[in-house]
Structure 1
Amino acid sequence: MASINPHINFNGNAEEAFNFYKSVFGGEFVRIMRFKDLASEEFPVAEHESNKIMHIALPIGKSVLMANDVPEVLGRTNENENRSKIVVSAESKDEADKIFNGLSAGEQIEMPISASPWGSYFGMFRDQMELNGW
C-alpha cells in the first residue's frame, strides 16, 4: 500500500530545522546529502551553497519527514506559503510508476520519474492546484 510523507523547502536553514525536529521527535537521520556531494561539471555548485542541504530525511513513526534547501538560482521559497510538496512512497517501481503517471497526467513534469542520485526512485511535477495558485 502507498504511504504519504511530507517534504519541506527551506532557504538555507533545513539543517537547523531538522536538528530541531530531531530534538523533538527523536530518531536518527536516514540520509543527509549536501549540494557539494553532487557537484560535477554537469551540476556545478557555488561555494557559498556547497554545504546547503540537497536532501535530508528523518523517520517519524511510519512516515518520513524530508526537506532540502532551495538553491538561490531557483529563487527564494516562501516558507510561509500554504502550498506543500507531497512525497508518495510505493512498494515497487511498478506501483510508483502507476501513481506518478496517474497523478501527473496532463500536468507540468519537473523531473521524470527515475533513479535519483540519493538512491530512491523519484519524480516531481506541479499539479493544477499549484499551477493555478489554489
Structure 2
Amino acid sequence: MTARLNPYIGFKDDARQAMEFYKSIFGGELVINTFGEFGAAEGAEADKVMHAHLESPSGFVLMASDTPEGMDHTPGSAITISLSGEASDGLQGYWDQLSDGGTVTMPLEKQMWGDVFGMCTDKFGVGWMVNIATANAPTGAEATT
C-alpha cells in the first residue's frame, strides 16, 4: 500500500481564492467541494469550501478548506510548506509568485550550507520555504527577487 503525506491548510473564508492562486502557480487540476454540496450548511456558509484538492503536474498535492463558523482559526500559525530540489528555474518561479504580495522573511539567496534558500509568507498567510540545491542554484542577483 502506498501512503502520501500532504499539507492540508485551513483558511477563513478565502480557501477558494487561495487554492486558485496556488493553481495559477503550480498548475494542475483543482477540485473544490462546498459545504452546501454535501448538505452540511445553508446560506452564506453553503458556499464555503469543505474540501479542496490540487494536484500539480509535478506531483505536488495541496488540500484546504474554510474553517466553519464557531471554530477557531489562526492563519499560518502551525504550517510552513517546503519546496526543494534542483530545478532552479521552476523553484525560482514558484518563489517569485509566492512571495509577490506577501512578506519575505528570509531573502532567496545563497546560504552557509551552499544552497540557495529563502522563506516567505504568501498573501494568504501561509509560510513557504524554497531550497534550490547547490548544483543548479542561481548565484548573485539571479537568486534574489
TM-score normalised by structure 2 residue count? 0.49
- The Cα of 1:2 is off from its aligned counterpart by 2.0
The aligned residue for residue 12 of structure 1 is: 13
Q: Which of 45, 49, 55 pairs up with 1:53?
A: 49
2:29 is paired with a residue whose SS is: coil
Structure 1: distance between partners of 2:12 and 2:69: 8
State the AA in 2 paired with 1:80. G
Question: Following the alignment from structure 1 to structure 2, what is the Cα–Cα distance between the partners of residues 27 and 12?
Answer: 23
Give the gaps of 5 or more residues in structure 1. 85-134
Which protein has the larger Cα radius of gyration, Structure 1 or Structure 2?
2
Give the distance between the partners of 1:6 and 1:52, measured in 2 at CA.
19
Task: Name the SS of the counterpart of 1:81 in structure 2.
Answer: coil
Matched residue SS, 1:72: coil
- Please give the alpha-carbon distance, in whole angstroms, between the structure 2 residues aligned to 1:8 and 1:80: 8
Aligned pairs for 1:62-101 within 5 A: 62-75=59-72, 77-83=73-79
Structure 2 CA distance for aligned equivalents of residues 12 and 68 of structure 1: 9
Whole-angstrom CA distance in 2 between matches of 1:83 and 1:62: 20
SS in 2 for 1:3: coil
| Count of equivalent residues | 78
Letter matched to residue 32 of structure 1:
I
Secondary structure at the residue paired with 1:19?
helix
Alignment partners' CA distance in 2, 1:63 and 1:25: 8
In structure 2, what is the Cα distance between the partners aligned to 1:28 and 1:16?
A: 15
1:107-126 aligned at under 5 Å gives the runs none
Q: Could you tell me the TM-score, scaled by structure 1's length? A: 0.53
Identity, % of aligned positions: 37
Aligned to 1:23, what secondary structure does the other structure show?
Answer: helix
Contact 1:4 1:63 in 2 (8 A): no
Equivalent pair of 1:8/1:67 in contact (CA under 8 Å): yes
Runs (4+) off by over 6 Å? none
> What are the Cα deviations for residues 64-91 of structure 1, in whole angstroms up to 9, with x where unaligned?
200000101223x10031258xxxxxxx
Structure with the greater relative contact order (CA < 8 A, sep ≥ 6): 1 or 2?
1
Q: For the aligned residues, what is the CA RMSD?
A: 1.7
2:38 partner amino acid? L
Is it true that 1:35 corresponds to 2:31 in the alignment? no
